[in-house]
Structure 1
Amino acid sequence: MSPDAAPATAPIRHLFRPLLPEATTALAGYPALLRRALGLTPGRERELPWRIRDLSLSLTAERDGGPKPGYLSEPRTLAAYAWYFLPWNLLRLSRLLPGLDLDLPDGGLVCDLGSGPLTFVQALWLSRPDLRRKRLRFTCVDRSRRALDLGQALFTGLAGFDPTTADAPWRIRTVRGEYWQGLADGAQLTTMVNVANELAESGREPLDLRMERLAGQLADSLAPGGRALVVEPGTRLGWRCLAAMRTALVEMGLGLAAPCPHGEECPFSASKVRAWCHFNISLAGAPAWLTTLSDKAELGKQRLSLSFLMARAAPPEYAAQAVRIVSGPFSLNDAPGAAVYGCTEKGLAVVVAPDGRAPRPGDLLIRDIPQDAPRDAKSGAPRIILDAQAVPAPKAAPDTAAVERSGAKPPRRRPQPGTGSGVDRPAMPKRSARPAKSHSGTMPGAKSTRRSGGGKYPGSGKRSGKA
């Protein structure tokens, strides 16, 4: 059975968890760590909102060219990145990682490719206290030595020990170079955060072929039972990269651990729903200083968005009748309550909650789809009707009470009041009040070239992305 799946008798399993109290405290005090690690003067700190705004422009897809490779090696650019993009990424990863099966063994090796300022390692420490007792080895690679050094200083401040010493519980080795130079045989976990989309945009090779080769590199690095985790912004390009990698990994015989509840063709590649697989989650736990800074930089956020894929070097096993919720709630014209889209081995399904308490994005349900299930008029997908007890009542905590939408809403469908949409790309200045449309066209590029197996691949020599 997939580690992220649940037995038929289990209740709904939430993928995105509330931020841990100690993580909330750490993020609230993160500016003090940044000031010490960066050594900013008051003047340079005052100019951060403008530099963050400029960096956001260079990272936005609509801007031609994008940032130059190794852009985090420039001190002022790195400072802008560390004050804005780094903490937002820590927040979204800290919401995701507790819901994933990452039971790493003592002495296990973790390869983090395109590490930037050790974003993934910091988020893992903040969100997974169960792993702090393990003695783990990390190899972190990035093109910017300055970013790696900053990450080590920030991790030391969070964890309270120097990860470069021989007796450290987590030992971190940093490598300045291309992403493929961080690959090593026998990894229990190989990760890439916000790297694949940058690799896809560099070079002339077709996206599917590039992602297929990247999937082969990740698979070759894993020990038996090891995991590969790739996280991307919740954009169409990010999901196109993941969809191509997903196809290649399935063809190589790896099992999909999350979020996919099956190994069949991705329903978004052939569905009538003009959307792609990504998850929008609330800003619950975001520190006040970060939201204030976002407003000053004219990049105010309404939600966090991501796409991700986790595969395991083990024979695939999937729970029967598993349904992964892949959208936020919307209203139906011909039925009361709220509805969401679910991903199943039979394709997309419309999950209907007559009492209005629909499951949240990322939730995993075990539900059968009857052969005579009514079909949704808009999407053609079968409808699964939940009983009133199928979805737990919302708790008082902000994370549970907030409506967390994603982009799998069909066109012209009436959303429930209080919901919004958007993606976690850097927002264009002056447009922060306008949610981006998240139900764009059907995701292309889901089918990759067939391959017969693994094999070692030489590095591409292109730039690696930053978390």
Structure 2
Amino acid sequence: MISPDLPVELKAALDAKLQGFSRNEAASRAAAISRTYRDGGGSGTIKSETDALAYVLARMPATYAAIVASLNAFVEIRPDFAPSSLLDIGAGPGTASWAAAQTFPSLQRFVLLDANATLRALALELAGTRLRDARYELGPARKLLADAEPADLVVASYMVGEIDEAERTALAGLMWEKTGEVLVIVEPGTPAGYARIIALRAQLIAAGAHVVAPCPHDEECPLEAPDWCHFSQRLSRSRAHMQVKGAEVPFEDERFAYVALTRTPAPNRPSRVLAQPVVGKADVTAKLCTPEGLSIAKIPRRAKADYARARRWRWGDAVTGA
């Protein structure tokens, strides 16, 4: 599995850009950008290099970690997938392209699409050797996507929440049209982010897609409000990251929701752990999404092998035999 921490080459490129950069100014700008995102805004407020660097410092590590976690979950079920081409929609500073490059060494062609010129400029500066030959197109996502060549892997991360429902529906149809085999969509792990994922999931299943992760089935999500499906990825914080976030602990837990869809159905989709299991003296209690639906599994201590296995389960794990 790929580490959730930023690659060494990307860290080095970021450190070089941050020489002489005011951490206080970055913290102020990062707080303003974060408020915009929480209020449903997008990357349109990022207009200067200072804005872009503040955003990358505050958000890129967590976004990268969530995308890597989503791709790791997919690869666990489809280890045979070896894409040669990537379409990164709403690419921003290139976070998803970096995550895909680390996950799939087979990738050779990278095409990034975004409407923000400032983030594009920063992405090209951070590209490094792995993404050196990437093509980064600037403009509205739907227009650029309509003109793009299909790719084996298409990723849309933390971007569908920035557009309205009608545009989202149209864009999703176009994303699937350009998907050679795998489409991965990642959103914040909020009820609103989950709702967007579920709506797109239903739309794309109706268009012929098959879910590989996190769901072990193509049926309707069995969860009922106020519950929602999301996961958590822990990542380490650099000193600069801690300063910009005003944080005191050297780690962060990023909550995210995602769906990975393919044109070819996966033969054996495992159950998914939907919350951190509760380990008791008598049993392990785990909330699972199974091929048959939602299940609260209780694995008794007397079943020693099963109990020992269940004690190692973590939120988000794919599990078999549950």
SS of alignment partner, residue 79 of structure 1: helix
Is residue 3 of structure 2 the alignment partner of residue 19 of structure 1?
A: yes
CA–CA separation in structure 2 for the residues paired with 1:113 and 1:311: 16
CA–CA separation in structure 2 for the residues paired with 1:347 and 1:111: 32
CA 1:172/1:318 → structure 2, altered by over 3 Å: closer, same or farther?
same
Residues 320-331 of structure 1: pairs in structure 2 closer than 5 A = 322-330=270-278
1:353 pairs with one of 299, 306, 316: 299
Cross-structure match for 1:195:
159
Is residue 182 of structure 2 the alignment partner of residue 220 of structure 1?
A: no
Measure how far apart 1:210 and its partner are: 4.8
SS of alignment partner, residue 92 of structure 2: coil
CA 1:35/1:236 → structure 2, altered by over 3 Å: closer, same or farther?
same
CA–CA separation in structure 2 for the residues paired with 1:123 and 1:46: 29
Cross-structure match for 1:443:
none
Cross-structure match for 1:140:
112
Cross-structure match for 1:124:
100
1:175 pairs with one of 137, 148, 156: 137
1:340 pairs with one of 286, 290, 305: 286
Q: Contact 1:84–1:290 at 8 Å: present in 2 too? A: no
Cross-structure match for 1:66:
41
SS of alignment partner, residue 91 of structure 2: coil
Measure how far apart 1:298 and its partner are: 8.2
Q: Render the CA deviation track for 1:146-171: whole Å, top value 9, x for unaligned.
A: 21121122121xx3x672xxxxxxx3
Residues 220-239 of structure 1: pairs in structure 2 closer than 5 A = 220-223=177-180, 226-239=181-194
Q: Render the CA deviation track for 1:16-74: whole Å, top value 9, x for unaligned.
A: x4628xx56728x82x5225346x635x334222222222222213xxx735x622232
CA–CA separation in structure 1 for the residues paired with 2:297 and 2:97: 36
Residues 99-118 of structure 1: pairs in structure 2 closer than 5 A = 99-101=73-75, 103-105=81-83, 108-118=84-94
Measure how far apart 1:135 and its partner are: 5.5
Which blocks of at least 5 consecutive residues in structure 1 are unaligned?
1-16, 164-170, 368-383, 385-467
Cross-structure match for 2:304:
none
SS of alignment partner, residue 339 of structure 1: strand
CA 1:300/1:243 → structure 2, altered by over 3 Å: closer, same or farther?
farther
Measure how far apart 1:100 and its partner are: 2.4
Is residue 13 of structure 2 the alignment partner of residue 33 of structure 1?
A: yes
Measure how far apart 1:213 and its partner are: 2.8
Measure how far apart 1:339 and its partner are: 1.6
Q: Render the CA deviation track for 1:62-90: whole Å, top value 9, x for unaligned.
A: xxx735x6222322211210111112222
CA 1:135/1:277 → structure 2, altered by over 3 Å: closer, same or farther?
closer
1:54 pairs with one of 32, 43, 52: 32
CA 1:93/1:186 → structure 2, altered by over 3 Å: closer, same or farther?
closer
Cross-structure match for 1:76:
50
SS of alignment partner, residue 229 of structure 2: coil
CA–CA separation in structure 1 for the residues paired with 2:249 and 2:58: 10
Q: Could you tell me which amino acid in structure 2 is paired with residue 84 of structure 1?
A: A
SS of alignment partner, residue 282 of structure 1: strand
Cross-structure match for 1:97:
71
CA–CA separation in structure 2 for the residues paired with 1:162 and 1:115: 13
Residues 53-452 of structure 1: pairs in structure 2 closer than 5 A = 53-61=31-39, 66=41, 70-101=44-75, 103-105=81-83, 108-125=84-101, 127-128=102-103, 131-132=104-105, 134=106, 136-156=108-128, 159=129, 163=132, 171-183=133-145, 184-199=148-163, 202=164, 207=165, 210-223=167-180, 226-268=181-223, 271=224, 274-283=226-235, 286-289=236-239, 292-293=242-243, 296=246, 302-314=252-264, 316-319=265-268, 322-330=270-278, 336-355=282-301, 357=311, 359-367=313-321
CA–CA separation in structure 2 for the residues paired with 1:162 and 1:222: 21
User: Bigger CA drift: 357-366 or 290-299?
Assistant: 290-299
CA–CA separation in structure 2 for the residues paired with 1:177 and 1:50: 28
Q: Contact 2:70–2:258 at 8 Å: present in 1 too? A: no
Q: Contact 1:281–1:303 at 8 Å: present in 2 too? A: yes
SS of alignment partner, residue 73 of structure 1: coil
Q: Contact 1:325–1:341 at 8 Å: present in 2 too? A: yes
More helix by share: 2
CA 1:149/1:294 → structure 2, altered by over 3 Å: closer, same or farther?
closer
Q: Contact 1:291–1:301 at 8 Å: present in 2 too? A: no
Q: Contact 2:96–2:157 at 8 Å: present in 1 too? A: yes
Measure how far apart 1:288 and its partner are: 3.7
Q: Contact 2:272–2:319 at 8 Å: present in 1 too? A: yes
CA–CA separation in structure 2 for the residues paired with 1:281 and 1:162: 25
Q: Contact 1:238–1:307 at 8 Å: present in 2 too? A: yes
Is residue 23 of structure 2 the alignment partner of residue 45 of structure 1?
A: yes
RMSD: 3.0
CA–CA separation in structure 2 for the residues paired with 1:46 and 1:210: 37
CA–CA separation in structure 1 for the residues paired with 2:158 and 2:35: 17
Measure how far apart 1:228 and its partner are: 0.8
CA 1:26/1:222 → structure 2, altered by over 3 Å: closer, same or farther?
same
Q: Could you tell me which amino acid in structure 2 is paired with residue 122 of structure 1?
A: W
- Of structures 1 and 2, the larger Rg is shown by 1
Which blocks of at least 5 consecutive residues in structure 2 are unaligned?
302-306
CA–CA separation in structure 2 for the residues paired with 1:197 and 1:190: 17
User: Number of paired residues?
Assistant: 308
Q: Contact 2:89–2:154 at 8 Å: present in 1 too? A: yes
Q: Could you tell me which amino acid in structure 1 is paired with residue 207 of structure 2?
A: M
Q: Contact 1:340–1:358 at 8 Å: present in 2 too? A: no
CA 1:214/1:297 → structure 2, altered by over 3 Å: closer, same or farther?
same
More strand by share: 2
Q: Render the CA deviation track for 1:215-262: whole Å, top value 9, x for unaligned.
A: 311111123xx1111111111111111101111111112111211111
